[in-house]
Amino acid sequence: MNIIQTIQRPSLHAELVERLRSLVIEDELKPGEKVPEKALCEAFGVSRTPLREALKVLASEGLIVLQANRGARVSEITIGELDKTFPIIAALEQLAGELACEKLSDAGIANVEKRHKEMVAAYRNNDRHAYFQANQAIHNAIIAGAGNDILETHHRLLASRVRRARFMVNLSDERWAEAIAEHEQMIALLKARNAQGLGALLRTHMLNKHAAHRKALACEAAS
């Protein structure tokens, strides 16, 4: 009787955590905005209990902040927060890169390379959205390739806080080109199974991304 899979109907609160997280990450709920408890309950067709349970989880992840007796607000993403978060993501990606070099199968590497080609194509077509998607997919594939779900979880938590920043910045063309070049190198190092090299590159790649974001934000603040 191992054929039949166990039926799993996810609990309401787990479902709500996912849905709400998406709302925040996809910028449907904007930073600083109050989380409309009642409206969300009606929208999702659930009572307040599971929704509030979900809010507590999101708060522990740092995506929202709870104010005593004043409900929840979507966390503001400040430059200071970016400065704290990017280096951590960089450190985790370094580790992921080292592990992925050892653990990723040849098929897995081929998959990364395929994504990379999609990304380059998107770059050539000036399609920022597709570029972003492919870029995301590559990083996720490497993280997943590390075969460490705890690492993956923490990376996802941190990345989700920073991802919203993409709504705020427009990266320069130079940085875009530079990023492509770094990705080219990544593929090469991955194919060569150069763990230390890939780890180091992923770290600097992320720190470069951080610098680019900082610069873009400073420009926008000035204008």
- Which residues of this protein are in contact with a second copy, per CB under 8 A? 8-11, 13, 17, 49, 52-54, 56-57, 60-62, 66, 68, 81, 84-85, 87-88, 91-92, 94-95, 99, 148-151, 153-154, 157-158
Partner that binds at residue 148, options a second copy, DNA, none, CB closer than 5 to 8 Å by kind: a second copy
Partner that binds at residue 153, options a second copy, DNA, none, CB closer than 5 to 8 Å by kind: a second copy
For binding to DNA (CB under 7 A), which residues are involved?
Answer: 11-13, 34, 37-38, 46-50, 52, 66-72
Neighbouring CB atoms inside 10 A of 213's CB total 21
Q: Smaller CB distance to a second copy: residue 10 or 36?
A: 10
| Nearby residues of 38 by Cβ (< 8 Å), 6 or more positions away | 48
Q: Which stretches within the chain are classed as H helix?
A: 12-25, 37-44, 48-61, 79-103, 106-124, 128-145, 149-163, 173-191, 195-222
Q: Tell the residue number behind the tokens 């929208």, with chain if given.
A: 43
Q: Smaller CB distance to a second copy: residue 62 or 108?
A: 62
CB of 2 to a second copy, least distance (A): 19
CB of 27 to DNA, least distance (A): 20
Partner that binds at residue 57, options a second copy, DNA, none, CB closer than 5 to 8 Å by kind: a second copy
Partner that binds at residue 46, options DNA, a second copy, none, CB closer than 5 to 8 Å by kind: DNA
CB of 115 to a second copy, least distance (A): 24
Q: What's the rounded Cα separation, in Å, for the pair 76 and 54?
A: 19
CA 188 to chain centre: 24
Q: Smaller CB distance to a second copy: residue 31 or 87?
A: 87
Amino acid (one-letter) located at 139: H
CB of 56 to a second copy, least distance (A): 5
CB of 35 to DNA, least distance (A): 7
| Nearby residues of 182 by Cβ (< 8 Å), 6 or more positions away | 201, 204, 205, 208
| Nearby residues of 79 by Cβ (< 8 Å), 6 or more positions away | 214, 217
Partner that binds at residue 1, options a second copy, DNA, none, CB closer than 5 to 8 Å by kind: none
**SS3 labels along 192-203:** CCCHHHHHHHHH
Partner that binds at residue 17, options a second copy, DNA, none, CB closer than 5 to 8 Å by kind: a second copy
Partners of 64 in beta bridges: 74
CB of 120 to a second copy, least distance (A): 30
